[in-house]
Structures are given as C-alpha cells and as structure tokens.
Amino acid sequence: MTRLVVHLRLSSVAAFALVAALSLVARPTSAAEATKDSVASSPASLGQQVADFTLADYRGKEVSLADYKDSKAVVLAFLGVECPLARAYAPRLTELAKEFADKNVAFLVIDANRQDSLSELAHFARQFSLELPLLKDPNQQVADAVGATRTPEVFVLDTESRVRYAGRIDDQFGVERGGSFQRPQPTRRDLAVALDQVLAGQPVEVAHTTSTGCLIGRARPADAQATITFTNQIARIFNKRCVECHRPGQIGPFALTSYDEAAGWSEMIAEVVREGRMPPWHADPQYGHFANDARLSDEERDQIFAWVAAGAPRGDEADLPPTPSFVEGWQMPQAPDLVVRMQDTPFEVPAEGTVAYKYFVTDPGFTEDKWVRVAECLPDNRAVVHHIIVFIRPPDGTPSADRRGFNFLVGYAPGTRPMVAPEHAAKRIPAGSKLVFQMHYTPIGTPEQDCSSVGLVFVKDPSTITHEVVTTSASNHTFAIPAGADNHEVLSARKFGKDTLLLSFFPHMHLRGKSFRYELELADGSREILLDVPRYDFNWQNHFLLTEPRVLPKDSVLRCTAHFDNSADNPANPDPSETVRWGDQTWEEMMIGWYDALLPRGETLDAVPVGSGADFDADDGE
C-alpha cells in the first residue's frame, strides 16, 4: 500500500526582483508559456555583463570568473546545503556538467547562504560526490550581481560574461499551489536547452523561467531597538511549534535550535508561515477540534513577521529559554521499552529504478499479549524511505505476503507522529504475533542502505486497560479516474452496528489527490462534517486527532468524499492521458479514509462497508 512519500519540504515559488516575493505562479512547460512568463518576471541582470569576481571554495582555494574566459559558456548554479530542492538537484548538476564537458562549458556552484558553514559545504560536496567548484559567497556579492534569490537557481553566461538564461534547471521538482511536486521525468530541460542555444550562437528562446526553492539566507542589519527578538519571543515559538521536527536527526531540513541557523532562514520562515504551509496543517478550521492542531496563533504569526521585518535581531542572551529535551532519535515522549528492527542486516537500495514493496517479517518473541501505549516507526535512511507500515500478524494469520489477516499497528510518513493511546487504552499485540514491515523505497541516484525499526512503549499493568485502539478505514478500490478529469469524485462509507468511539482520522490518496472530507450521517439522514481537507498534500500527510473522542451512534454512517485531479494542470500528475485505478505505486491511486476507533476491551468493531466500493475489506491490510 502506497501511503506516503519522502517529503521534499520545498520552499514556495517566487519570482525575481520584478515579481512579488510571495506570488505563486504556475511553472511553464512549453516554450510559449515560458516565454510569456519571462516577460513579466525577468531578473534585472538578464542580458547584462557580469563583472569578474573571486570567491574561495570550502578548502580556501580562490576561483575567479576570469579563470574561465576561454569557456564557451559558464553556468553559475546557486545551491544551499540544507535546501531540499537544492539537494535534489545537486546530482543533476553533476550530470549536466559531464554532458557538456566536451563542449567547453564550465559549471561553478555557489553557496550564498549566511547560515551555511564551510564545514557544511565540505560535507555537502562529499555526500553528493560533487567535483565541481563549490564556492562560498559570504556577503552575497555575486548573488546580488546576477539577481539570485533562490536555491537552486542557475545563470548561463556567454563568452562575454553576459547573462543569457536565468531560472530553474528543469521542471521535474518544484512547488505548485503551495505544495511540492515531483514529476517522474522533466518535461523541459530548461538549462540544457539554453546551453545548446547559446553554444549554437542562437537567441535563447526561453531566457527566464521561475525558480522554486529556498530563499537565499542574506545578511541583513538588525534593528537594535526591536522589541521582538529571537531570545525572547521567537525562540519560545520555535520551541513550542517547530523544533520537534527542526532539530538534528529529525525530518526538518534545518535546525531551529540556534540563533544563527534561524536567522539565516528567517525570510524563508516568514514566507511559509504567511502562506500557511508551515507549520503543516491542512484541515479547514471551520470543522472539528483537534488536539494536534499545529496552526500558529495570530499573535505568534505577527511576532514572527515583526522579527523578520526587523532584520531578525538576536536579543539578550539572558532571555533565551532552554531548548526542549527530546528522546534521542525519537519523537515519542519517552525512550521505547523495545526497539524491533525490520531485519538484522540492512537492505540494499539500488541507485535507480522502481523498488517493489518489500516485506520483512520479524518475531519479537512475545509469549503473552502486549498492550502498546506508544508506537513509532523510525526510518534508518530518511533519504530513501518512502513510507513504513508495521502490521501485526497474529498467530492464526496467513504466512503469505498478501497481507490478509494483518492488523495495522503504526506507520511512518513525513508529517506523521507517534501513536499515543488515550489513558487506560492501548493497541494489543496478541501473544505469538509477528511484526511485518511494509517498506517502500525511492532510489535517489546513489546506492543506499536501510534498516528501519519500530519503537514500542508497553502498558506496565495490563489490568488498567479498559479499551482497545483499532485502526480501520472507509475505503474504495473500485474507482476509475478518467483521463484529464480535474475534480473526479470517489466515495466510500462505513455503517456502524453499535455505538463506537471515534479517535482520529488519516486520509490517504496519491499524487492526484486533491481534497478529502469525512462526514457523519445519522439515522435520520442529517449530516455533519467532521473533517475537511480542502487541499490534500501527498508529501505531508497529517494525522488528525480529535480533542475529545466522538460517539458514532448505532446505525450512523461515516462517509468519505475524495476528489482527484488527473488533469495536465496538476504538476505532480505522472500521466494525465491515462485512466487511473487502484494500485500500490504512486503513479496509481488509492482512496482510504483511515480512522482510529476506541472499543471496550474484549469487544470487536461492528462497522461494514456500504455504497460505492463496498466490496473492499479495509481490515485486510491493504
């Protein structure tokens, strides 16, 4: 089951100096569209001659633009060591440099971020086997000269050092509608096309494309009189809202536990907060109340904006609050009682290709029922782990790999949190059960290894357990999404044979997923919206935990409505010309309305599929 994808955590789309920094624009996919876009947003440097400059690489060796005066073209590529999109494109730059090596094209990689240290540049070069010159632009002198605002962003200079092309490398990765996307392959190799035209002595047909990525962390003077400072208000906001993910070893691409790092990312932070992309929360606030609502308060938002506008002042160190303590490597509030690895030796993830789902069965050796209060999947190699689902295979479960008879224990994806059961409740692992790891890997261009695990915290006194937590769903796998459909509706529903306590929701679709809604229909036909996700994000999938358990009365129906965008306007769409049906892989689709229910101990769930897709049994582990 494809539930999840490695989250790029990309920045939003922005244009150059002539376009508002927070505007969202569609990525051009044809020369005509790209040309139209470039008219409105070309950087001031386009067509201008870039003066000679000298920068040092991370080892201290100085490199000048004049060193490449005999080159037929020079590419200035601005990257940042922590920007996910820049990291995604680092291998692509190496490929392009090799492609154009015999055509006398030089590539210079430049880091202009104030927050990126030389040691981090050195690690970046080693990690990506980057043999191109990697230069530090400490005061953004070159970035300012060419009008660079984002990473990654490239500039093509001709033999006279004039800027002939500015913008993205290609259109495979990017941001659209406030969320990140990844095409299977680029539809336009903008940089390569521009280089070919420059080398041929032709005008560059598409001289500018809009770059997406992270804002360059520029050094800015701070207002010494500012009342909103990092050490006072901002560090407290970050500690409360951000550092759970933005700390070493967690999914956040950079840490927010130090002033220097936070200040370098300050303008980027303001942008994603203003757009509502961070903290990530996709529920419409009109419906439902959720214990894990990640939205900032109006006061917190205003303080962040004021801090950034004042140049991100540090403040008095005496005001700095202590950094919250976390369990090393885990998000759960305490160290696990037991850590179970998927197998003894790492799995070898190939550099390229599609890796079919892998299933690893392990026996934790439970001789008695185990009641799990907290469970968390821990990816060993986040770069290649697409998702993890850990199932329970009871002793009477099938030994085959078709997942029939499996029970859902816990899963991982960017955005998920540990499973924490309510007081006096837990998930039960029957004695003699095995744990089955469903692993989905995404190759990243280099051979990798992974040996992921699950951490469990047990209830010390099982006699205190009054209720069992069960994960199930209202799902549909009989749909067919027509080619080109931009708002195709798919329905599913479950009818309850007895009063049931509802704990949480976890909607799931793939790359064409657009929106998802849960509604409760009572026996009298009246309906109430329990959760509405108007803009579903496959790259960041939230688990919505109700503030208080909700009673689903006997004979009520939990109805799920999903909409899919299978049109060419969906930039993440692998192929808008295909009719799309249920399938494991991300280029196929799923419609699953997962939910957690709370049952009295010893009782079983009484909820049956009804209506469209009613032949699908959500308990079979699909």
CATH number for position 591: 2.60.120.230
Residues 535 and 488 in one domain: yes
pLDDT tens, 262-317?
999 999 999 999 988 888 889 999 999 999 898 999 999 999 999 999 999 999 99
Residues 68 and 196 in one domain: yes
Q: Which of 147, 167, 160 is nearest to 198 (CA)?
A: 160
Q: Do residues 603 and 513 touch, judged by C-beta distance below 8 A?
A: no
Q: Do residues 85 and 93 touch, judged by C-beta distance below 8 A?
A: no
pLDDT tens, 460-486?
999 999 999 999 999 999 999 999 999
Question: Would 256 be classed as within a structural domain?
Answer: yes
Question: Would 618 be classed as within a structural domain?
Answer: yes
Q: What is the pLDDT of residue 18?
A: 22
Residue in this structure with the two tokens 């949190």, named with its chain if needed: 417
Query: Is 614 a residue whose pLDDT tops 90?
Result: no
- Show the tokens assigned to 50: 């870039």
Residue where a domain stops, chosen among 448, 463, 478: 463
In this prediction the pTM is: 0.79
Residue where a domain stops, chosen among 431, 463, 495: 463
**DSSP-based three-state secondary structure for 232:** helix
Please say whether the dihedral angle defined by the alpha carbons of residues 428, 432, 438 and 439, taken in this order, is positive or negative. positive
Domain count, the chain: 4
Question: Would 9 be classed as within a structural domain?
Answer: no
Q: What is the pLDDT of residue 376?
A: 95
Full residue range of the structural domain in which residue 126 is found? 31-215
- Show the tokens assigned to 210: 């809009």
Residue where a domain stops, chosen among 291, 319, 347: 319
Question: Would 568 be classed as within a structural domain?
Answer: yes
Band of residue 96 on the pLDDT scale cut at 50, 70, 90: very high
Residues 39 and 157 in one domain: yes
Residues 404 and 485 in one domain: no
Residues 392 and 444 in one domain: yes
Residues 370 and 409 in one domain: yes
Question: Would 23 be classed as within a structural domain?
Answer: no
Residues 164 and 127 in one domain: yes
Q: Do residues 363 and 467 touch, judged by C-beta distance below 8 A?
A: no
Residues 527 and 538 in one domain: yes
pLDDT tens, 149-160?
999 999 999 999
**Four-point Cα dihedral 611, 616, 620, 622, nearest 10:** -110
Using CA atoms, how far apart are residues 78 and 110, in angstroms rounded to an integer?
A: 5
Question: DSSP letter string over 388-423?
Answer: EEEEEE-TTS-SSSS-TT-EEEEEE-TT---EEPPT
CB contact set of 344 (below 8 Å; sequence gap of 6+): none
